[in-house]
Structure formats: C-alpha cells, structure tokens
Amino acid sequence: MLLLNPNNYTREYPDKASLEIMLNTIRFFEDKGLKAIKNDDQERVWYQDFLDFVKNEQIFSQLLTPAANGDSGARWDMWRIQGFNEILGFYGLPYWYTWQVTILGLGPIWMSGNEDAKQKAANFLREGGIFAFGLSEKEHGADVYSSEMTLVPQSDGTFLANGSKYYIGNANAAAMVSTFGKIQGTTDYVFFVAETNKPGYEVVKNTVNSQNFVAEYKLENYKVTENDILSRGEKAWFDALNTVNVGKYNLGWASIGMCTHGLYEAINHASSRRLYNMYVTDFPHVKNMFVDAYARLVAMKLYAMRTADYMRSASLTDRRYLLYDPLVKMKVTTQGEEVVDLMWDVIAAKGFEKDTFFEMLTRDIRALPKLEGTVHVNIALIVKFVQNFLFVPAAFDEVPMRNDIADDTFLFNQGPTHGLSKIQFHDFHAALNLYETPNLKIFKEQVEVFRGMLVKTKTSQEQQKDTDMMLALGNIFTLVPYAQLILECAKYYKLENELVDQIFDFMVRDFSKYALQLYSKNLTSPEQQQFCLSMIRKSVFDEKRYMHIWNEHVLALKGQYVMNP
C-alpha cells in the first residue's frame, strides 16, 4: 500500500514507540472527526486541543529533540519526521503548520553552540511548547540581507533589540522565537532568542485569516543577554539558510498528505455518483484524470522518501541533498497543485461544499509552493547544479533506504552554504536504467536531447541574466533528478513495471510541455528552438497497462477510507 490509509497504517518503524506516536495521532484526529475539524477551520479556532494532545503524548519532544538533549527515545529521525508530516497534512494544514514552524524555530537553536538555550528548548518541548522562526520582515520579505532588526549594545554587556518581524507562525504563543538581525555598529548578523512573555515583546496582529496565527511581532527595547545569543556573523547567516534547508523538505509531505485524503474523497464521490445513466468513473476522461492524479501522487511520495535517504546519509563531503531537498519543496508541492486540479475537475461543485475535506484542500494546497522560498527562488537555486549533475558525475557508494533508528544531527552541522556549483553527484543514468519500459525509454531520449542542447548551444550572457529564460531551463532540468530518485525508490519498493511506465507517461508529457515553453521564450535562439522541438514527444499509451492501473490501483481505493464524521 503506497498511500497512507488510516484504517490500515502500514508504514514500518523499527521501534514500537515510533509506531505508537503515529497510531495515536491518527486516533486523535479520527476521534475528533471531520465535522469538528471543519468547524474549527471555519471558525478559525486555535488548535489548543491538538497542542494539549502533543504535550500529553510528548510527541514534539520525542520527534524534535536530538538525542543529546532529550529523554530516552528522543531523536531527530527523518524517517519518523516524514511519517508525522504526512499524517498531519492528511488531516489538515493548520496542524501541520504549527509543527512546521516549530521545526524552523528549533533550527537555529540546535545549530548553535549555546548549550543553555538547547536545554531550555528541550525543557519547553517537554512542557508542550511550540517555537517560531523570526526571519522575514514586512518590507523585505525573505531578503534577509536587508534585515532591520537590530541589537544595540549596552554598557553592561547586554543588548536592546529593536525592530519587527512579519509573517511569523506561532509567534503569538511560542516558548522561544529564534530571531534574526544585525548588531548595531558592526556588519555582523546575529541569531538570538526572544520569549513571548517578556517585556518588550509585542504581538501586533495576526496577518492571515486562518486557524494559524501568523504574526507580525515587534521588539521594543527588548533586553537580550549573552545567554540569549545563538550565533553571530557568518555562522548566523549560514544557520538561517541551513534552517530553511531542514524545513523546506516538510512542505512536500504536507502536500502528499493532503492530496491523499483528497483522493479518497474524490474517488468515493465519483464512483458512487450516476450521471446520464452511468457512474462518473465510467467516463473515459474521468478515468484519465484519476489515473494521472494517482501516478503523480505516487511519484511525489517516492521522490520525497528517497530524498530523506540522502539527507540522512549526508556529510560535508556528500551534499547531494542540497539539490534534492529544494526539489521536494518546489516540485512536489507544485505537483500537489496539479493533482488537486485533476481531482477537482472530476468532482466539480462537490469541491466547494463546506462539510468536505476537499474544500480546505483546494485552498491550502496553494500555500505550499509559496512558503520557504517561492518556486522561482528554488529553481534559481537548482540551476546552479546543472553542469555537475548532467555532465561531471563522480563515484559514490550507494545510499541505502534509511528507515533505521538514527539521530540525524548532521542537519544541524551542515557547515557553510556556499559552493553549490562545486557539489558533485553520482551518474543519473544508472537510475534511469533500473527499469525498462516504453515511456521511460522515450524519457531517456528526451534527456539526451536536452543535454545535447546544453553542449551545442551555449546559453548567452543575455540569456543567463534573463530570469524567465533560466526558469524555463530549470523546469526541464528538474525532471531529471526527479526521475532519478523516483526510480531509485521504486526499485527499493519493488514497484511493478506497469506503474513505473504510467509515471513516465506523464513525465514524457511534462518534458514536452516544458520544452514547448522554452521554445516560446523571447531569447531562445533558432538552434535552441530546434532542440526544443526534438524534445517534444508523444507518450506511449498501452490499454492493458492503463486499465491495470485504473482497476488495481485507482478504483481499488473506493471505500477504503472515509473519515469518521
């Protein structure tokens, strides 16, 4: 069973305690029921019941405290974090969001050398505390170079913090807010901890119309001591970016969880509804949309699972995760939007009904590509890897599937964030040769045409300065590592050839779509246009394969899960 089913939770954990966390969380939401979840969403009720549950079960404490700072069983284990992400997304983005922001808030603390702050954070987690990440500002957004939050040195060795932060989740109730700024009179960046219950900390307002509290907060002569300082100078800058590296991964899993719940609702509705004397699922176009949505969702999950293997196995000499991780944020979340659109076209007006999960899904799925850096920002990052990934492979030992018990503390010791263009990768061709299917064969041909274009038609200086042009190139490039990790994960899970070929049916079509977009750009040269035309291919339709996926994978989901009302 590739997709999460709360009625039959099959994800394997090597320890009983981890499985109990997941099952207890599922039980909490099923006992709460869909009606209560929808009422809380519509009335914008702060999710204190969920936070009380987290405290009573010590869930955040167990999942988000590194072993060195936590109780027995506590560790930062990406296999467990994946699973919990998916469950929270499955039941609603607000619950996932408070968890996600807590992860971001903890990042600069666990990355620091401030042992007192670490112990304080561990204690707050035991007490059910949540955390916040004070990075962005109203006038500057994610442009942290322009941060105006300032620490003013005082004669007694302390500081006074002045400034405001904007769009900061959990900042109304966080036990600790990791806040980024600058030290007055220097060029030094700084991360320090602010506490919401101390003088000088003011919550200005909630910036969103949601259950979540996404605050604008202000510090006015807020006293900061050396014990509150997490990092300074270049280290603070690296910690800001590395925290985002840790956190952006989770967005893909929120999308996976939400889409999975939506798929159950959509197939249950469509398969039981009769129009024009036939079931909705008997219409050919409906089958096609469902099969495409299912294949895309499975691909999203395969890619996200495999990315965590590289994150868990990373080191200062193996930083391949710095390509794969932003792809989870960028590619998986945008694929989630596409999955929802496909299902919504099937169920149509049902997707607006206030008592469905789908009504929340259609709104919240749009948020994920726009958080922790826009899609455009992440593609601009990803294009730095093109040369080494496509043309300069290096030898690496195979990274195994990582569902073992381990404390993934390298994520808090990632080191400098520069030098991305020097990172090397293993040869992607090995993954593309793990299966032999008709559509994968076409996809490999498209990849080679793309590589040929990059070799034979160098991008000009003008093209490199044109963000629109580079984003178009980036969209094509991302399909290659996306395919690579999908296939590596598919092999571990022994996916059948039919499902792999159905995945590459849409991958061939997407390659063609992006090639046409590149062809249409103003700066694309005539020679580049010819290569683009050669990338446009028709996927292979196989009636037997298609009906197998429809009957055994998609229609088989009918009635498998309905949330407790």
Interval 188-216 mean pLDDT? 96
Average pLDDT of every residue of the chain: 95
Residues 384-421 have pLDDT tens digits of 899 999 999 999 999 999 999 999 999 999 999 888 99
Is 372's pLDDT higher than 70?
no
Calpha distance 233→182 (Å, rounded):
9
Q: What is the pLDDT of residue 298?
A: 98
Interval 528-537 mean pLDDT? 98
Interval 42-64 mean pLDDT? 98
Question: Which of 202, 42, 178, 210 lies closest to 101 in space, CA to CA?
Answer: 178
Q: What is the pLDDT of residue 373?
A: 60
The answer to whether residues 320 and 423 touch, using CB atoms and an 8 Å cutoff, is: yes
Q: List CB contacts of 238: < 8 A, sequence separation 6 or more.
A: 414, 415, 416, 417
Is 294's pLDDT higher than 80?
yes
Domains and CATH numbers, the chain: 16-130 (1.10.540.10), 132-232 (2.40.110.10), 385-395+421-541 (no CATH)
Please compute, for residue 385, the number of CA atoms within 13 A of its CA located in the half-sphere on the CB side: 27
Calpha distance 197→9 (Å, rounded):
40
Cα–Cα distance list, 309 to 302, 314, 328 (Å):
11, 8, 13
pTM of the predicted structure, to 2 decimals:
0.96
Interval 233-254 mean pLDDT? 95
Residues 157-166 have pLDDT tens digits of 999 999 999 9
Question: Which of 282, 339, 485 lies closest to 401 in space, CA to CA?
Answer: 485
